[in-house]
Amino acid sequence: MDVVPEPMAELVHRAAATTPAYPGDLATVRRRWRTRRRRRGAALTGGLVALVALTGGAVPLLHGRAGTPADGPPAVVPGASSPAPTPERAAAQRLVISGTEWFVPDGSDRPKVGLAAVPAAELRLDGSVVPYRVPEGFELGAALPDGRLVGLVRRDVARPRSAGANTDKVAIDLVLVEPGGRERRWHLQAPRERVGVVGADDRTVYLVRPAGLVARDLSTGVEKVVLRSSVVGSDLLGPDARVTGGRIAVRSEATRTVCLIDVYDLAGRERRGRVETGPGCLFVLSPDGRSLAAVHRTPANIREQRLGIWDVATGKQLADVPVGTVTRDPATAGMVYGLAWDDDRTARAVWAQVPPGADRVYQVPEVMRIVSASTQ
């Protein structure tokens, strides 16, 4: 019984030869994979040949294995996190809005209508507003490119009761605020000395003192006089000067009808130009220092606010757009909360105004309007 009859063995061998292979057999799987790889390689080679023929050889060189372009996007694996979105283009100057509270007088002790204070908040290019955590009494001086803010905090200020009151107790601190709220402080003021912040970069903060413009190293605290008040011909004050791009813009004259702004090089201490705007100007130099943007009132209508751009070298006005109107009614009066350059050609201003019929206190982002001017 252990011997299989020869006719039966022959029939079994014939049946096995005609039966198709099991699809899950390892040898069969490998054989099919090699066949398909050869076919894909042949198809890709033929396609490249045809493409070269059609384009006259103007085809970028592909590196890597056939069927996988080296510069193509990576394959998305199920369950894996998607690539991070492309970050928004950063503005050349950070537009930080800041201002004190403003309420409409209503004859009562409790304010009902007005605008809430904005210690410091950044307005992004997409229109979003990011608030900053700053110390109480923080006065914004400048926004650094790396996200930090620098300003002043006045503390223990003694209110003089008479002309001969002692004012030596006035203390002013220079405060550097990081995005997370962490801060560094330096005591600045000597008795009876005025001081202001007019600009800053990653390593230096620019102060105005009685001697003139002073550059203070943020790492060492060492100060150096960059431009003396005697060169400018006037006493520099915080709101009257701004440092940008190696230049300083100084408001040398301000009257009811005109505002004159002189621009000096910090290195050569030479005047590079003069710009004439309307009264009440709030100004800032472009990143390259060649243009000046200012929100100002028009001499014909002192309530009308406009945003203009001027060429520093020639004094020629390059752009002029309306911003807002300060009405006679205090319930709808508006004001500028920030001004900065997106690039060397475009400047933005933030205007906030209480809407007609208001019956509450508004946050500035609720009612603000962004106005742009460009030389393009």
Indicate if the pLDDT at residue 71 is higher than 90.
Answer: no
The answer to whether residue 6 scores a pLDDT higher than 60 is no
- Residue 42 per-residue DSSP state: H
For residue 40, what pLDDT band results from cuts at 50, 70 and 90?
A: low
pLDDT of 185 > 90? The answer is yes
220-249 in b/e burial notation, b at 16+ Cβ within 10 A?
eeebeebbebeebeeebebebbbbbbebbb
Collect all residues with Cβ–Cβ distance below 8 Å to 276 and sequence separation of at least 6.
Answer: 258, 259, 260, 261, 315
- State the pairing for strand pair 304-311/291-297: antiparallel
Taking only the tens place, the pLDDT of each residue in 125-138 is: 988 999 999 999 99
d(CA 341, CA 343) in angstroms, rounded, equals 5
Residue 80 has pLDDT above 50, yes or no: no
Distance of CA 201 to the CA centre of its chain: 14
Burial category of 200 from C-beta neighbours within 10 Å (exposed 0-12, middle 13-18, buried 19 and up): buried
111 falls in which pLDDT band (50, 70, 90)?
low
Cβ neighbours of 137 (radius 10 Å): 14
| Order of strands across the sheet that contains 282-285 | 282-285, 291-297, 304-311, 317-325
pLDDT digits (tens, 9 = 90+) for 335-368: 899 999 999 999 999 999 988 888 889 999 999 9
Residues 308/317, Cβ–Cβ less than 8 Å: yes
Concatenate the DSSP letters of all residues of 328-352 into one string: SSGGG-EEEEEEEESSSSEEEEEEE
Q: What is the pLDDT of residue 142?
A: 94
User: Nearest CA to 95 among 288, 286, 347?
Assistant: 347
> For position 212, what pLDDT does the model report?
87
**28 or 121, which is more confident?**
121
3-state secondary structure of 354: coil
Please state, rounded to an integer, the average pLDDT across all residues of the chain.
Answer: 77
Give the pLDDT of residue 188. Answer: 87
Q: Does the pLDDT at position 69 exceed 60?
A: no
Q: Is 273 helix (H, G, I), strand (E, B) or coil?
A: strand
- Residue 107 pLDDT: 63
Report the pLDDT value the prediction gives residue 85, as an integer from 0 to 100: 40
Say yes or no to pLDDT of 330 above 90: no
The pLDDT confidence band at residue 84, using thresholds 50, 70 and 90, is: very low
